[in-house]
């Protein structure tokens, strides 16, 4: 049975994140750092449950069901834009491949999300909305373009690519005349949550898992995929803004 970092299942579920972090850092030489994490879910009181049940029985049946509340970030910022999925203490500059440091971090907080410090000697990434990303991957497959691992949350996917500079990226985007509003670029100084992290956006998983060779997976150059990603975003409603 094949096993990938972030997909391993154990009786002791608390080992999944520390094991994945160690694989990324020590075997693949990807610098990682723990994310801020999420506040533990609080059990609702009997009074709250009774109130919720009364609302369920009396609410307009034609309404769409309310979306579940997102869990709050463990950081001290009440308006956190990326619950759990950002570094806090330590910061992203502390990211390391040192297995001793990685072990110590996840001994202290075994549920912490695993964040990849992108760029430099580590992978970079391009992220976009999940539906658009699925269409883009289908297009890349039809063109015979080889892709690397793809990280997914319920709402966004991220294609891992070889490290790129922002000057190179700017030149590539300039060729298309678009400023893609819904594309995210994770290069030098950035970060990205890796499987099997749990964040406010949902569980992070592999949409396309790395092949289990025991070494860092192959990554495509950003130039081989960014054109298709830009076109996919441009075709989506509100996906981009034309630069005249």
Residues 6+ apart with CB under 8 A from 193: 35, 84, 85, 113, 114, 115, 116, 151, 153, 199, 204
Rounded distance between C-alpha atoms, residue 21 and residue 116, angstroms: 9
Q: Phi, psi (5° rounding) for residue 139?
A: -65, -45
Residues in the chain: 244
**What six digits make up the tokens of 123?**
């992978």
Question: What pLDDT score was predicted for residue 78?
Answer: 87
**What six digits make up the tokens of 97?**
């491949």
pTM as predicted: 0.81
**What six digits make up the tokens of 160?**
């891992």
Rounded distance between C-alpha atoms, residue 207 and residue 50, angstroms: 39
**C-alpha closest to that of 209 among 30, 5, 57, 19:** 5
Q: What ranges in the chain are assigned the alpha helix state H?
A: 16-22, 46-58, 99-108, 130-143, 166-174, 226-235
- For the four alpha carbons of 169, 172, 126 and 128, in that order, the dihedral sign comes to positive
Question: What pLDDT score was predicted for residue 177?
Answer: 77
**What six digits make up the tokens of 120?**
């430099």
Rounded distance between C-alpha atoms, residue 185 and residue 182, angstroms: 10
Spell out where the chain has E strands.
32-34, 114-117, 124-129, 150-152, 156-161, 178-180, 184-186, 191-194, 198-199, 202-203, 205-208, 240-242
Question: What pLDDT score was predicted for residue 239?
Answer: 55
Question: What pLDDT score was predicted for residue 205?
Answer: 98
Q: Phi, psi (5° rounding) for residue 158?
A: -130, 125
pLDDT along the chain (244 residues), means of 10: 46 77 96 94 41 38 42 90 93 97 96 97 96 97 98 97 93 81 92 96 96 85 95 77 42
33 neighbors 90 (Cβ within 8 angstroms): yes
Peptide bond into 90 cis (omega under 30): yes
């Amino acid at each position: 049975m094949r096993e990938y970092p972030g997909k391993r299942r154990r009786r002791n579920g608390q080992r999944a994140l520390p094991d994945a972090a160690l694989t990324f850092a020590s075997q693949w030489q990807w610098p990682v750092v723990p994310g801020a994490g999420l506040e533990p879910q609080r059990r609702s009181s009997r009074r709250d449950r009774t109130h919720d049940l009364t609302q369920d029985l009396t609410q307009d049946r034609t309404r769409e069901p309310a979306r579940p509340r997102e869990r709050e970030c463990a950081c001290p910022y009440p308006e956190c834009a990326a619950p759990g999925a950002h570094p806090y203490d330590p910061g992203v500059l502390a990211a390391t491949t040192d297995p001793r440091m990685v072990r110590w971090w996840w001994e202290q907080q075994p549920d912490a999300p695993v964040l990849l410090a992108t760029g430099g000697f580590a992978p970079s990434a391009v992220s976009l909305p999940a539906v658009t990303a699925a269409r883009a991957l289908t297009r890349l497959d039809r063109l015979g373009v080889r892709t690397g691992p793809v990280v997914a949350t319920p709402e966004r996917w991220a294609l891992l690519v070889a490290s790129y500079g922002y000057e190179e990226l700017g030149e590539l985007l300039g060729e298309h005349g678009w400023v893609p509003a819904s594309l995210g670029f994770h290069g030098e100084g950035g970060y990205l949550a890796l499987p099997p992290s749990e964040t406010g956006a949902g569980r992070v998983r592999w949409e396309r898992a790395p092949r289990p060779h025991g070494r860092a997976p192959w990554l495509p150059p950003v130039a081989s995929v960014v054109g298709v990603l830009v076109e996919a975003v441009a075709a989506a409603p509100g996906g981009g803004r034309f630069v005249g």
